[in-house]
Chains A and B, each alone.
Chain A
Amino acid sequence: MRKVYADNAATTALSPKVLDKMMPYLTTVFGNPSSLYQIGSEAKEAVEEARETVANLIGAAHPSEIYFTSGGSESDNWAIKGVAATLMKKGKKHIITSKFEHHAVLHTCKALEKQGFEVTYLDVYENGIVKAEDVKNAIRPDTALVTIMYANNEIGTIQPIAEIGKICREAKVLFHTDAVQAMGNVPINVVDDNIDLLSLTAHKFHGPKGCGALYIRRGVRPDVLIDGGAQEKGRRAGTENVAGIVGLAEALKIAVQTMDERKEKLTKMRNRLIDGLLKIERSRLNGDRENRLSGNINMCFEGIEGESLLLRLDLAGISASSGSACTSGDLDPSHVLLSIGLPHEIAHGSLRISFSDENSEEDVDYILENVPKIVEYLRSFSPLWDKIKSEN
């Protein structure tokens, strides 16, 4: 049976080239970068080289602005909680974010609300895109931080980050972006985009899990999240994940080098898949069609539930994802799908397919062979589908 991994927004396969780069640091060069002897200083060198690579790839002015972390969630927590703690002392207790951020951002904001912060959750409209003008209008004298994701993890919509960055810089408000999904897929330049803090994680672009980074523009001082040793200039304690850091830098280098080519290939595949799936009766595409990540497809099929669709796809060898309540372990379907105005019963029937360079046109064919059949089968015994049909 054909196997199609189409859940690259969840995680990606580690690239063999990246693994090769990492191997020495998992074996012979195992030293602690803080140690003085040879294998320690070699490890330290590797970390610093990776820092420089990452800085260059995102357009940072100095390598020292890159801080390695355990991943996207830690970077988001550090950026938001750190800035909040610093600026609270100056009486700034307002944060602006959007309704469809990743939970690493939303739940962090919720935690700050309990500490007395006020949070504005901006609308993302039907197309899943924040309006820069809304950010401008929401900024107050006591606004500490604006945090808006670069691209959404479920529906892939790309946000007007440069515009928002400009607005924030002019208003002298710090701007953080969770670029976990966008990194390696869209060109990012933290200086041009006026970004003050940026989160990224390696495993979304064929790097290893458990390693991420936070870009902190020079002069910005978020409070320390993890206290301890003097690693990362005393701002993020813990012995460095040397192999992970080396892998992150190598994976990002490859992702950025191959970005244009990949975008062209994936956009074609994406559009063909969207057009094919839209032929299914009562289906819809979620999020803006053009302004989305080249590998992201998010659709709803009325009258069926997402988890059963996923399980059937899995039986056919296809790995994908859904925003249904049943897959989230929650009672409500995805907050992202609700934020773009979908009613619960439609949001339950969602399917996210996310491609990477490792996918092919044959995968699109195989998905187009299977999804319509499965949707038809599940609808054949769905009382909800009976109702939808009888009402029309």
Chain B
Amino acid sequence: MAYSEKVMDHFANPRNVGEIPDASGVGEVGNSKCGDIMRMYIKVEGNVITDCKFKTFGCGAAIATSSMATELIKGKTIDEALKLTNKAVMEALDGLPAVKVHCSVLAEQAIKAALSDYYTKMGVDPEPIVGKIKECDHDHGCGCESCS
């Protein structure tokens, strides 16, 4: 298994690390049993995501995909952020090893979880807009929601 130079760059120098104290939305996906947790913070002004930060517990790919996902939605409109796919994150990183694809799914879901939280805080039901958040895409028989 080898990571691309871009993955290694985002792992070695992750962008947008940290928290946003007055975040408009915070989303967290993954669990410690699987070995990865991503927490995303977004700051929304008008219709634009003016800031995005992350905290991640996980492998090199989990950190790199978190970093890249924040870069991809920062300065974008909410509509654009809603269209972010794990494929786009992977492509921006020049690909991921097959066993690490789930990290990019987690990054996409973390952004969506933050957007859901934003809508919830605004008093809007997020599910019709954002869809259902998958906590992780593993099937590890641990009995968590994503296993069933």
Contacts and interface: CB of A to CB of B under 8 A. Distances in A.
Contacts of B17: 380-381
A271 to B, nearest CB: 30
Contacts of B59: 305-308, 324, 326-327
Q: Interface size bucket, B side?
A: 20 to 34
Interface string A307-341: 11001100100000000111101011100000000
Give the interface centre of B14, B55, B59 by most chain A CB atoms within 10 Å.
B59
B140 A381 contact: no
B35 A383 contact: no
A383 B39 contact: yes
A365 interface: no
A208 interface: no
B35 A381 contact: no
Contacts of A265: none
B29 to A, nearest CB: 10
B32 A384 contact: yes
Interface in B93-131: 99-100
B42 interface: no
A383 B140 contact: no
B83 interface: no
A331 B34 contact: yes
Contacts of A360: none
Interface string B11-26: 1101001100000000
A77 B57 CA distance: 38
Nearest to B36: A305
Contacts of B1: 329
Given A307-B60, A311-B60, A344 B33 contact: yes
A344 B32 contact: yes
Nearest to B1: A329
Interface in B26-74: 28, 32-39, 54-63
A148 interface: no
B146 to A, nearest CB: 12
B138 interface: yes
A303 B35 CA distance: 10
A100 B113 CA distance: 39
Contact of B60 (A308, A325, A331, A332): A308
B35 A348 contact: yes
Interface in A339-369: 344-345, 348
A384 B140 contact: no
A117 interface: no
A345 B33 contact: yes
Contacts of A344: 32-35
A307 B28 CA distance: 21
Given A311-B11, A332-B140, A326 B35 contact: yes
A357 to B, nearest CB: 30
A153 B19 CA distance: 40
A269 B116 CA distance: 52
Given A329-B1, A329-B99, A332-B140, A382 B56 contact: yes
A382 B35 CA distance: 11
Contact of A305 (B8, B14, B57, B138): B57
B20 to A, nearest CB: 13
Nearest to B53: A381
Contacts of A332: 140
Contact of B57 (A303, A311, A315, A331): A303
Contacts of A164: none
A121 interface: no
B55 A381 contact: yes
A308 B39 CA distance: 17
Contacts of A326: 35, 58-61, 100
Contacts of B138: 331
B87 to A, nearest CB: 21
Nearest to B3: A311
B12 A384 contact: no
B32 A348 contact: yes
Contacts of A307: 59-60
Nearest to B8: A311
A14 B47 CA distance: 62
B60 A382 contact: no
Given A308-B63, A311-B11, A344-B35, A331 B56 contact: no
Given A308-B11, A331-B34, 7 more contacts: A308-B58, A326-B61, A344-B34, A348-B35, A383-B28, A383-B39, A386-B55
Closest 7 CB pairs of A and B: A345-B32, A326-B59, A307-B59, A384-B57, A382-B57, A348-B35, A383-B39
11 contacts: A307-B59, A308-B59, A308-B62, A308-B63, A311-B60, A324-B35, A331-B140, A348-B35, A381-B14, A383-B28, A384-B37
